[in-house]
Amino acid sequence: MIALKVFDEFSPLLEVVLGTSESFGGIPKMEDIYDPKTLLNVNKGTFPLEIAIRKELNSFHNVLTRYDVEVHRPKVFKSVNQIFTRDIGIVIGDQFLLPQILDKRSKEQKGIQFIMDQLDARKLLKVGGSARIEGGDVMPCGDHLFVGYSKKEDFDNHIVSRTNESGVDFLIKHFPSWKVKSFELKKSDNNPYENALHLDCCFQPIGKNKALIHKAGFKNQSDTEWIINFFKPENILEINQKEMYDMNSNIFSISPGVIVSELKFERLNQRLRDWEFIVEEISFSETAKMEGLLRCATLPLRRRYA
């Protein structure tokens, strides 16, 4: 039995599901592409090879185990991309939320059925009806639950819109003790420099009081102002458009003082060290070609709380 416990993005990590590249299907067909960065790399002939992604995920696995984290990997299904486990399940407090995601991604959830089989059935909550949610859009943060979403017009017209207003309403209804704060994101099916695929593509809390943000990823200036006021300006690092494209906000916290980051993020990594974080640098730039990075590849199950 797995006892779930996740109340934030940064408390010491005890147990996680890390994605796998095994039999991930190779270069996708055009009809199976559902984000602009993958589309760009397929068209350029730079889509990553399975061996390159496996090497990056193994490096990530090695860092996690060095910090005594218990690491699970999805059950492998042939020709299914199972790298980005963040989106297919969400732990909020002591509950496991099985989100309703893109039909094209539904097979990915079968890979973590063995995790759900080890849960108290009373702690398993399935999203239904018209609600749509992906885990990259959901961030527990103390007593707040930050959620990225799209209103109806964007959700109906953009495949990169993954969480809708009904999804936000579902979270408000089923997690009444949390303060749900939703942010409308900018979307583009064709331009990865203008697309915030998920909330963690343009924002992430780190440590106990700091955050990374790409303001242009949000549709409403009032939302970016709210975030900056919440964390305080001196605790914010703004990332530019190229850094957003490279996924600078999609790093991963092992603990309040330890962050795993892409080794090419030189400006970010130096700022993190200036803030006295330990930065574990690994190469993850091949995986990033599919519009996901370190946070996307992880599904935290347990963190430690006093």
Name the average pLDDT for the chain: 97
pLDDT tens, 148-175?
999 999 999 999 999 999 999 999 999 9
Sequence letter at residue 303: R
Domains of the chain, each with CATH number or no CATH: 13-303 (3.75.10.10)
Alpha helices per DSSP H over 103-164? 106-110, 113-116, 152-157
Mean pLDDT score, 282-287: 98
Residue 71: which pLDDT band, with cuts at 50, 70 and 90? very high
- Inform me whether the pLDDT recorded for 72 exceeds 90: yes
User: 110-131 pLDDT, tens per residue?
Assistant: 999 999 999 999 999 999 999 9
Compute the average pLDDT of residues 256-277: 98
Confidence category of residue 48, pLDDT binned at 50, 70, 90 = very high
- Distance, CA of 18 to CA of 67 (rounded, Å): 14
Task: Over range 180-187, report the average pLDDT.
Answer: 98
What local confidence, expressed as pLDDT, does residue 306 receive? 84
DSSP state of 190: S
Q: Residue 106: pLDDT above 90?
A: no
Residues above pLDDT 70, as percent of the chain: 100
Where are the alpha helices (H) located in 181-265, listed in sequence order?
A: 221-231, 241-245
Rounded mean pLDDT, 32-44 = 95
52 has pLDDT over 90:
yes
pTM for this entry: 0.97
CB within 8 Å of 182: residues ≥ 6 apart: 146, 147, 148, 149, 168
